[in-house]
Amino acid sequence: MNTEELVELGQQLRVDSIRAADAAGSGHPTSSMSAADLMAVLLAHHLRYDFERPAHPGNDRFVLSKGHASPLLYAAYKAAGVLDDEELRTFRKLGSRLEGHPTPRRLPWVETATGSLGQGLPVGVGIALAGARLDRTGYRVWVMCGDSELAEGSVWEAAEHAGYERLDNLTVVVDVNRLGQRGPTRHGHDLDAYARRFRAFDWHTIEIDGHDVDAVDRAYGEALSTRGQPTAIIARTLKGKGVTATEDLEGLHGKPVKDADEAVAELGGPRRLTVHVQEPVTRSAQAPPADGGRPLELPRWEKGEKAATRDAFGQALTALGTAREDVVVLDGEVGDSTRAGLFAEEHPDRYFECYIAEQQLVATAVGMAARGRLPYASTFAAFLTRAHDFIRMAAVSGSGIVLNGSHAGSAIGQDGPSQMGLEDLAMMRAVHGSTVLYPCDANQTARLVAGAAGLEGIRYLRTSRGGSEVIYGPDEEFPVGGSKVLRTAGADDRLTLVAAGVTVPEALAAADALAAEGIAVRVIDLYSVKPVDRDTLRRAAEETGCLVTVEDHHPEGGLGDAVADAFADGSPVPRLVRLAVRTMPGSAAPDEQLHAAGIDAEAIAATGRLLVEQAMVP
């Protein structure tokens, strides 16, 4: 396209953005209009993409980090010929593919869900890393950001990661329209404020007028030819560009243009330009085989051995990596603690050190998953809370990732509450479509590490710091959604203890103590916290009447709630007591912690005894 045609295409994208929002009665046309020329030139001259084959390994990857500018994205899809005008006008309506913020659940050309600002670049870095280190099919990653979202620290985690990794296949385009939601941004049109920040993180930067299509074209060309560095194009634009009633004006964020017809007329009316988007480079990638051709040989422990579940995690993950070449592992600079580092020794090419940047850790996993990998990302359970919004958005994307939180609970001991994951089960259970697994011994951990690979969505594995006795044989199976009854006297049981992870040995000791007193106790190892084994819990409720749940977690949202939920369909429920960490722990030895929190064998036995007595009173 020549300059004039590019200008025309930009106007068309504006017109269609306005019309889409007008049909919806909501949406963000002004945020779309500022970036329209940037989008037009990218689409017409630089993006290499086969819209008929979104899975083509050579396709460039485009991420609209400023997801609220979805009208622009959909207008671009229309210009590329893959949406028609009728569909464009379903924008934001029930059942439409064209959501308020784009998601890959609905549209095959969307790489990752955006709408929580500051996430597009981090995920883009993950994709670019996959491109540079794994796929090597020559695709580029283009991320379009707003200026407001550069206040998010996650953007600078991503900038640091990309700069350090010299990802020259990555270009970020910043649409500096100077206006955020409620008014001017911190830096207005000071392009250098953004450029010098990116340069400090070792990026190549280009400052341009984002409405000068030739300058935009040259900038993209310069980005393409830049080697050894990612490029940030910092583009001065005007919000609501092209329409007198909106251009560079405050108070119009997220609002349809008032008089859409007049605005469209001012822009020169609707156009019917179609863009022939360039074909992707043809180098074909081999999809990494899920079955690496080698059988999975999980590590094995004998009953009675002592091992930490985090050790089992690292060893099993390494074995899984040998069997499956699609497995990649990421860690937040604690791989020696989480034991993800064991994988690095065997499979260094598929291990990605993300340093202490948990948002980027999860974003990299999401990016790798978007490129067909099966990522396992690890850090302390406590620090996964840092990435909560990224995990939430990964679920919106329908992303398939495995998260591992180690050093969970008060059982870590002396390091104190800042390092204890006491909220992670609540966080991970509430993620849509998640699976939450909490093993108590090494063989169980190994099986669950492998089992998690076969699931969809967000999977969470909670592991522990300290060693514990191996109680299961190496051939025992642990289906997701199942549980294990570890002690039972059948119909004689008068109480059920439900435990997981570090509280399983405590529950077993309590059961033994109560059995010695003549109280038969059932013990359930509820390793699958979500989905939960309703049948076994209900049977226990019916047969024993009394349940005690015990968890190394705050009382809200964890094991206790999972058990209660098993009875939340109107069926009769048992007497239920929850033991959990109700205090704010300090520093102390692991056994002192469990004792202080009232979740050790002694506390469990005392509670069980009381409940059984209470149940005997009619």
Active site residues: 358
Binding of a second copy by 524 (CB under 8 A): no
How far apart are CB 345 and a second copy at their closest, in Å?
12
Beta bridge partners of 351: 329
If you ran DSSP here, which 8-state letter would residue 561 be given?
H
Q: Which two tokens stand for residue 552?
A: 């190394």
Judged by beta carbon, residue 124 or residue 574, the one nearer a second copy is 574
From candidates 229, 360, 406, 464, binder to a second copy by CB under 8 A = 360
Judged by beta carbon, residue 10 or residue 146, the one nearer a second copy is 146
Query: Stretches 6-14, 98-106, 237-245, 287-295: which one binds a second copy (CB under 8 A)?
Result: 98-106
Query: Stretches 45-53, 263-271, 560-568, 598-606: which one binds a second copy (CB under 8 A)?
Result: 560-568
Coil vs helix vs strand at 175:
strand
Binding of a second copy by 385 (CB under 8 A): yes
Binding of a second copy by 335 (CB under 8 A): yes
How far apart are CB 277 and a second copy at their closest, in Å?
26
Give one DSSP letter per residue of 199-247, joined into a string. HHTT-EEEEEETT-HHHHHHHHHHHHH--SS-EEEEEE--TTTT-TTTT
Three-state DSSP string of 42-92: HHHHHCECCCCCCCCCCCCEEEECCHHHHHHHHHHHHHCCCCCHHHHCCCC
Tell me, residue by residue from 141 to 160, as one string, x for binding to a second copy by CB under 8 A and - for no binding. Answer: -------xx-xxxxxxxx-x
Judged by beta carbon, residue 300 or residue 575, the one nearer a second copy is 575
Judged by beta carbon, residue 56 or residue 253, the one nearer a second copy is 253
The β-bridge relationship of strands 546-550 and 575-579 is parallel
Judged by beta carbon, residue 51 or residue 355, the one nearer a second copy is 355
Using CB under 8 A as the binding criterion, the count of chain residues that bind a second copy stands at 119
Site residues for a second copy, 117-136, by CB under 8 A, read 117-118
Closest among 371, 363, 481, 382 to 428, alpha carbons compared: 382
Binding of a second copy by 376 (CB under 8 A): no
Count CB-CB contacts under 10 A for residue 224. Answer: 13
From candidates 323, 396, 411, 508, binder to a second copy by CB under 8 A = 396
Closest among 345, 348, 343, 442 to 402, alpha carbons compared: 343
**Whole-number Å distance between alpha carbons of 114 and 93:** 18
Residue 222's alpha-carbon distances to 218, 225, 422, in angstroms, are: 6, 5, 49
How far apart are CB 462 and a second copy at their closest, in Å?
14
From candidates 315, 359, 445, 483, binder to a second copy by CB under 8 A = 359
If you ran DSSP here, which 8-state letter would residue 278 be given?
B
Judged by beta carbon, residue 356 or residue 515, the one nearer a second copy is 356
Binding of a second copy by 115 (CB under 8 A): yes
Binding of a second copy by 341 (CB under 8 A): yes
How far apart are CB 571 and a second copy at their closest, in Å?
7
Query: Stretches 23-31, 80-88, 235-243, 460-468: which one binds a second copy (CB under 8 A)?
Result: 23-31
Binding of a second copy by 501 (CB under 8 A): no
Q: Which two tokens stand for residue 607?
A: 């509670």
What torsion do the CA atoms of 477, 483, 484, 489 make, to the nearest 10 degrees? -150
Residue 353's alpha-carbon distances to 340, 376, 515, in angstroms, are: 10, 12, 49
Binding of a second copy by 252 (CB under 8 A): no
